[in-house]
Amino acid sequence: MDSQAAITILGIRVDSVTCHDALARIEEYLAQGGPHQVNTVNPEFIVTAQGDPQFARILNQSALNLPDGQGLLWAARLLGRPLRERVTGVDTLVRLAALSAERGYRIYLLGAAEGVAAAAGRHLMGRFPGLEIAGIHTGSPAPEEEEAIATEIKSAHPHILFVAYGAPHQEEWIARNLARLDVPVAMGVGGAFDFLSGRAKRAPRWMQRLGLEWLHRLFHQPWRWRRMLALPQFALLTIRERLGRPV
């Protein structure tokens, strides 16, 4: 990883890439063969990693950490190490699906609630004719299910694996299993299947540009309020780092 194309926020590496850069790097990984782990890092990831050394290690050792979250762009500017742009997980998934339809890459969808991944797959195949989905499996990140799921994925021979178990479970699952899957690229995608299936609605573009996606999600999913507490915590920790105080 080119150190000039990465910054560190609260001890976690975030790669300063554009959407175009991210796609180009993932294409390089596909050409090289596996394994490569791609993460969609946001403020909640970084706050979680402060108290979870294993999660922090996974993030810092992965091939690519996308800057998914306006909060990261704010923090990077405050710290004097600006990121070039926000690269969201769901948009990257869609771009990779388009690329896969064009180049013949096979994708595998793992996780989310029952029926959601299948609906997301139908959406993607309808949008990108020729896209080949190697497999779909709901399952769970429970260790006792790993052997069967890993065997199923390996036998399907996908080029790209998208995992929607939510952070940090999906990143930990990928880190534990990627080496035995024979998949060149595995990427945690959080709630992306929910958006693609229509089960959840993304914030309007203007809210995304203003960094208000969290408000939209909180309005539509009020049960997420505890998770939203990570945002002010992230801001406080970043300010303390900027002032040179221990975090």
Instruction: Read off the pLDDT of residues 4-31 as tens digits, 9 standing for 90 and up.
Output: 589 999 999 999 999 999 999 999 999 9
Separation between Cα atoms, residue 209 and residue 212, nearest integer Å: 8
Q: Please determine, for residue 2, whether its predicted confidence score (pLDDT) is greater than 70.
A: no
Instruction: Read off the pLDDT of residues 178-215 as tens digits, 9 standing for 90 and up.
Output: 999 999 999 999 999 999 998 766 656 656 565 656 55
Separation between Cα atoms, residue 160 and residue 242, nearest integer Å: 38
Which residues does residue 12 pair with via DSSP β-bridges, in sequence order? Answer: 9
Show the domains of the chain with their CATH numbers. Answer: 3-197 (3.40.50)
pTM of the model: 0.89
The greatest distance separating any two alpha carbons of the chain, rounded to the nearest whole angstrom, comes to 53
More confident residue, 146 or 206: 146
pLDDT tier, 237 (very low <50, low <70, confident <90, very high otherwise) = very high
